[in-house]
Amino acid sequence: MSSDHDTAFIDLRAITKRYAGVTALDSVDFTVQPGEAVCLAGENGSGKSTLIKIISGVEPATEGTIRIAGQERPTLNPRISAAAGVMVIFQDFSLFPNLSVAENIAFATQLSTHQRFFRTGAVRKIARAALERIGVQIDLDARVESLPVAQKQLVAICRALASKAQLIIMDEPTTALTEKEVRRLQGIIRMLKEEGVAVIFVSHKLAEVLDVSEKVVVLRNGKKVAEGPASDFDTQSLTYHMTGRDVPEMPPSDVTAGAQTLMQVQGLTKAGSFSDIDFELKTGEVLGITGLLGCGRTSVAKALFGLVSPDAGSITVDGKPVPLGDPQSASMARIGYVPEDRLTEGLFLGQSILRNVAVGRLDAHSSGGFLNMQGLTEEASEWLRRLKVKAPDVEAPVKSLSGGNQQRVALARWLSRTPRVLVLNGPSVGVDVGSKADIHGIIRDLASQGIGIIVISDDLPELLATCHRILVMRDGRIIDALDGKSVTEDDLAQRLAS
């Protein structure tokens, strides 16, 4: 074991990280050898992003020691970490869309060598060398925004290589890739490993990168729950370690026979985002919409709630047309929308839990210009109780709650408005395992009360646990409509990535 530590490029010992009372990482040991590929697996909120932030110097560890390339680093910041050869490729790649491929690849090197002048020749040379190293051809002068997702990722990898990366950390590297592109990525990873470059894959679905990895580390609720050679793991055992559950969740009960059409969407089109979206939602039905990142699923969700203004098409609820592109009209038609990003879109973080719920019902409790404070407070408290929000003090800011409870607050706001249709975008993103199952239970409950629910997600087990029907999107179109009961996870995964 000690030799492992001696040769490791990254050697973390007993790393603990606490944020204001929440333990994000609990005494985690983590090593990466040169040329080794490690899968860091875990559900959202398991602590894997925190671990990455600590390695890349974005966040300091509360306790524990960090050694990079054999040298202890009591103080680490992004610059020190990058100088030591740690490069992170984020999910959005953090590229400059308006600059050329060559500029994107070479800019970091140019900065770190303190070049005062921008030299086009040198930039092109660096970029060409990096591209040749991984054996791909991309036009050096193309603007990065014009490239498809897979090529953007390659540009990001080249940038890391140009900056003499010893370790490349890839956050959710395969979410936006098709199967063919995944295979090409695997080839590149193998080549990098031969050159001694280590790789960490961070993901909650790792089947695709398991065969190029040596080691798997699984985190759950901030603790390391499994570690071992990649050959010891398969999709099933990974899922088991990540969730801590062996049994799949209960599938949803059937839609009542003769349920009426609640919402009808026809020919919804927005140039550049999605086109010809048609579907029907019955009362009490849970409809899943899935697809790879960038397939247009979030734009469709926003369009249903008027946050995106479609160019063509129609939405009706109970046979009545809903004016497009206006959230007020959508909410008047009793459509509710719980956004993907709770922190920036869903909640008023600094405001009280109570207010976060009550803001949805201001008009109902307003008479003669003044609010009936008591009625407003009582109703909001009642919803918090019904959704079992664990809050010691409803006057406390909502940011003091855990992810799962925050999501319930966001749900409570919409439920208090008695919606007919509820659009849930990523209902369990950033929620711990226990709360996730609870939220799925709430979704099934609401459906049984006759609310039509649309779940937008790329979490396949989640879709299978909640949805009666699943629509698969690619390039802005619906390419498949599947029955939630008969489809398997593998089948679904294949249809997504094919």
Chain residues in the site for other proteins (CB under 8 A): 19-20, 59, 307, 327-328, 330-331, 337, 339, 344-352, 354-355, 358-360, 362-363, 365-366, 369-371, 373, 376-377, 395, 413
Q: How far is the CB of 351 from other proteins (least distance, A)?
A: 5
Place of tokens 């040329």: 35
Sign of the torsion formed by the C-alpha atoms of 97, 156, 477 and 283: negative
Question: How far is Cα of residue 242 from the mean position of the Cα atoms in its chain?
Answer: 16
Helix, strand, or coil (residue 164)? coil
Nearer to other proteins, 160 or 347 (CB): 347
Nearer to other proteins, 258 or 369 (CB): 369
Nearer to other proteins, 72 or 363 (CB): 363
Nearer to other proteins, 366 or 449 (CB): 366
Q: Is 145 exposed, middle or buried (0-12, 13-18, 19+ CB in 10 A)?
A: exposed
Nearer to other proteins, 38 or 347 (CB): 347
Nearer to other proteins, 225 or 307 (CB): 307
Nearer to other proteins, 19 or 96 (CB): 19
Q: How far is the CB of 236 from other proteins (least distance, A)?
A: 37
Residue spans of alpha helices (H) in 207-321:
207-210, 235-243, 297-304
Q: How far is the CB of 175 from other proteins (least distance, A)?
A: 23
Q: How far is the CB of 220 from other proteins (least distance, A)?
A: 25
Q: How far is the CB of 470 from other proteins (least distance, A)?
A: 25
What CA–CA distance (Å, rounded) separates 210 from 201?
10
Of 209, 244, 214, which is closest to residue 42 (Cα–Cα)?
244
Nearer to other proteins, 66 or 347 (CB): 347
3-state SS record for 205-229? CCHHHHCCCCEEEEEECCEEEEEEE
Nearer to other proteins, 121 or 350 (CB): 350
DSSP secondary structure, 14-37, as one string: EEEEEETTEEEEEEEEEEE-TT-E
Q: What are the E-state strand segments in 164-311?
A: 167-171, 198-203, 215-220, 223-229, 261-270, 274-282, 286-291
Q: How far is the CB of 434 from other proteins (least distance, A)?
A: 26
Q: How far is the CB of 427 from other proteins (least distance, A)?
A: 15
Provide the β-strand partners of residue 23: 18
Nearer to other proteins, 157 or 330 (CB): 330
Q: How far is the CB of 323 from other proteins (least distance, A)?
A: 13
Question: How far is Cα of residue 69 from the mean position of the Cα atoms in its chain?
Answer: 31
Alpha carbon separation from 117 to 162, 255, 459 (Å, rounded) = 18, 66, 47
What CA–CA distance (Å, rounded) separates 108 from 159?
7
Query: How many CB atoms are closer than 10 A to CB 445?
Result: 10
Q: How far is the CB of 412 from other proteins (least distance, A)?
A: 12
Provide the β-strand partners of residue 420: none
Q: How far is the CB of 123 from other proteins (least distance, A)?
A: 32
Residue 150, both tokens: 């897979």
